[in-house]
Amino acid sequence: MASQEAAPRQPRVLLTAAEIDSTVARLAAEMSARYHDGVVLIGVLRGSVPFLADLVRVMTVPVSVDFMAITPYTPGSGRVRLLKDLDLDIAGRDAVIVEDIVDTGLSTAFLRRELERRNPRSVAVCTLLDRRIRRVVPVEIDFAGAEVADAFVVGYGLDHEGRYRNLRLVAAADVELLADDPDVYVPVFYGSPEFELE
Ligand code: IMP
């Protein structure tokens, strides 16, 4: 009984590795069908890295990759700021912003505005996860993975204080438990075959 009470609440798996793979394959096929002349994929650091790396390996058109980083939006902090800009010039090219999750939409809306000023042929948005329920600004999503409800998620690029990005799955985690101890899910995710296999 005591040991059961000490065990962290089980995170809920929202996307298994197999579900991630099929979502990535679908989105890569959609983008390959749209951009015959090639495309610049712009990863938003750091959460989109695993997603972007998997996407490019199954796309069947020429792909350039670049990255941007912005300050996370926090209520009351004012606005989003650019921390790392592109190295590539996207003028006249088709560009796709690749996001791990579109939540309030503030980051994506900022990035889209920023990129549109550089005279690209087009700017689109691709996201693995879409949490529409929390949207603050409207964002058009051209290539949408899975919709998630109002729960904090970790895994496959998504972190809590730098942890859990390298999980092969996406899981809903308890924010109160994480606030008490950011490592609370380490034994569960990294020590149990149930999660390693998924
Ligand atoms: P937005 O600007 O609110 O749409 O969200 C921007 C960023 O916040 C995302 O790209 C993520 O990096 C991060 N984020 C939002 N929701 C979550 C979550 O549930 N888990 C981990 N990171 C998140």
CA 144 – ligand 1 centroid, Å: 15
Q: Where are the domains of the chain?
A: 17-148
pLDDT tens, position by position, 163-196: 999 999 999 999 999 999 999 999 999 987 666 5
pTM of the model: 0.93
Q: What is the CATH number assigned to the segment(s) 17-148?
A: 3.40.50.2020
CA 153 – ligand 1 centroid, Å: 9
pLDDT tens, position by position, 116-169: 999 999 999 999 999 999 999 999 999 999 999 989 999 999 999 999 999 999
- Residues 43, 96: Cα–Cα separation, whole Å: 9
Distant-in-sequence contacts of 20-25, Cβ < 8 A, 24+ apart: 20/54, 20/128, 20/156, 20/168, 20/169, 20/170, 21/54, 23/128, 23/145, 23/146, 24/51, 24/54, 24/55, 24/58, 24/128, 25/58
pLDDT category of residue 79 using cuts at 50, 70 and 90: confident
End-to-end Cα, the chain, rounded Å:
28
pLDDT category of residue 94 using cuts at 50, 70 and 90: very high
Instruction: State if residue 48 touches ligand 1 by the CB under 6 angstroms criterion.
Output: no
Instruction: State if residue 106 touches ligand 1 by the CB under 6 angstroms criterion.
Output: yes
Instruction: State if residue 152 touches ligand 1 by the CB under 6 angstroms criterion.
Output: yes
